[in-house]
Amino acid sequence: MTTPLRLSVLDQSPISEGSSAGDALRHSLDLARLADGLGYTRYWLAEHHGTPMLACTAPEVLIGPVARETTRIRVGSGGIMLPHYSPLKVAETFAMLSALAPGRIDLGLGRAAGTDPATTYALQRDRRQPGPDDFPQQLVELLGHVDHTLPPDHPFARLRPLHGSVERPEPWLLGSSPQSGIWAAELGLPYAFADFINPAGDPIMNRYTAAFVPPRVAPHASPRGLVAVWVLCAETDAEAQRISASARMAFTLFQRGELRPVPPIETALEFLARPIDDPFAVVRQRRTIVGSPATVVPQIRGVARAYGVDEVMVVTITYDHEARRRSYELLADAFGLSGATARAPAAADQHAGETVSDR
């Protein structure tokens, strides 16, 4: 018998050419409502800075509206890039979110800058020197604030408990390298691996599982992992390949240092048809799963087996928002998610005729 897989969503809030960041963020709210209705497990929002292609620079700002627009799906960050922030401020923010949406908030944490060096420097509060490479210390302090486990001799141990901290967020460590797996195992954290960045991560996940040490606050905890994979699904393989041209062009240009919104399909097809270089050379360095349900389902299951996980988080970028919605609908149907037969309304129809006071 095939082990049921849980599916989740990693939303990078893509901005399509000719649209605005506001459009992209409204599409994120619409996609979250759809994922909630279809039976997806989590909806995580990514943090990126300094790019015209991705709209979400502050996932903590968008998590609240997504949680309000949904009813059952877990909502979180994928992730908060902790080196930019004060651990206490992050803990306070997610304590508030957890108070507003009890039992539904995930705090995914990452080490990467999520942007270029100049923007990283601009995000620093103190610019007298480069920021310290102290992520392990930041992470331990943040967990101490969240779990009230700072040792008595810690300089912040006497701070008052966080408002709303009766309901805590669930911390996750995100990563795409061996070091993140080591930290997650040592601290007893759930671990989310970004296969769409590094498709050779199954040994890292396996080492995390073997080395996992249960934390003091949950001594019976077991290792838990998920893998985030880039997927695009359409009714046919040919249509999926055609739709994916926009993302392939955008990513190829990104690797060259050329940042732009997600291009229309026809523009991308013309770009990819040019004989001057191999348009797939950069993309081949990363795993992409593209095709009809019959094509993508075995590949997704194969990735989950390799990583030894029962949850796959799907990231998808398309030029047309309806194509992205349809991709997640097809996956929900193919994997038999609990709400796959109920279709959430499109953004234009959602809350039709309502006022804020009606909700």
Give the whole-angstrom CA distance, residue 248 versus residue 290. Answer: 11
Cα–Cα distance list, 195 to 131, 179, 352 (Å): 28, 15, 39
How many residues are listed for the chain in this entry? 359
Q: DSSP assignment, residue 14?
A: B
Task: Mention every residue, 6+ apart, whose C-beta is less than 8 A from residue 229.
Answer: 195, 196, 287, 289, 300, 303, 312, 313, 314, 315
Q: Is the pLDDT of residue 351 over 50?
A: no
Q: How far is it, in rounded angstroms, from Cα 287 to Cα 274?
A: 23
Strands (E), 191-287: 191-194, 225-233
Residue 341 pLDDT level (bands cut at 50, 70, 90): low
Helix (H, G, I), strand (E, B) or coil at 328: helix
pLDDT above 80: residue 305:
yes
- Compute how many other C-beta atoms are within 10 angstroms of the C-beta atom of residue 214: 12
Residues 5, 256: Cα–Cα separation, whole Å: 36
- In single-letter form, the type of residue at position 233 comes to C
H or E segment to which residue 267 belongs: helix 265-272
The pLDDT value recorded for residue 350 is 44
The rounded percent of the chain whose pLDDT value lies above 90 is 72
251-279 residues labelled b (16+ CB within 10 A) or e (exposed): bbbeeeeeeebbbbbeebbebbeeeeeeb
Cβ distance 241 to 301 under 8 Å? Answer: no
Long-range Cβ contact pairs of 234-239 (< 8 A, separation 24 or more): 234/291, 234/292, 234/323, 234/326, 234/327, 234/330, 235/292, 235/330, 236/292, 237/290, 237/291, 237/292, 237/295
Higher pLDDT, 118 or 258: 258
Task: Specify the amino acid at residue 228.
Answer: A
pLDDT confidence bin for 4, thresholds 50/70/90 = confident
Residue 209 — pLDDT band, cuts 50, 70, 90? very high
Cα separation, 179 vs 108, in Å, equals 16
> What is the secondary structure of 15-84 as a DSSP string?
PBTTS-HHHHHHHHHHHHHHHHHHT-SEEEE----S-SSB--S-HHHHHHHHHHH-SSSEEEEEEEEGGG
Contact 244, 315 (CB under 8 A): no
Range with the poorest average pLDDT among 121-125, 192-196, 198-202, 263-267: 121-125
Torsion angle, alpha carbons of 337, 340, 345, 350, to 10: -30
Query: What architecture (CATH level 2) is domain 6-124+133-233+289-345?
Result: Alpha-Beta Barrel (3.20)
Half-sphere exposure of 325 (CA within 13 A, CB side): 18
The β-bridge partners of 219 are: none
pLDDT tens track for 14-53: 999 999 999 999 999 999 999 999 999 999 999 999 899 9
Tokens of 164: 């709303």
Distance, CA of 17 to CA of 208 (rounded, Å): 40
pLDDT confidence band for 354 (50 / 70 / 90): very low
**Pairwise CA distance, residues 293 & 297, whole Å:** 6
User: For residue 281, is pLDDT > 60?
Assistant: no
Q: What is the DSSP string of 158-198?
A: TSPPPTTTTS--EEEEEESSHHHHHHHHHHT--EEEETTT-
Q: Considering the entire predicted model, what is its pTM?
A: 0.89
CA pair distance 175, 185, nearest whole angstrom:
12
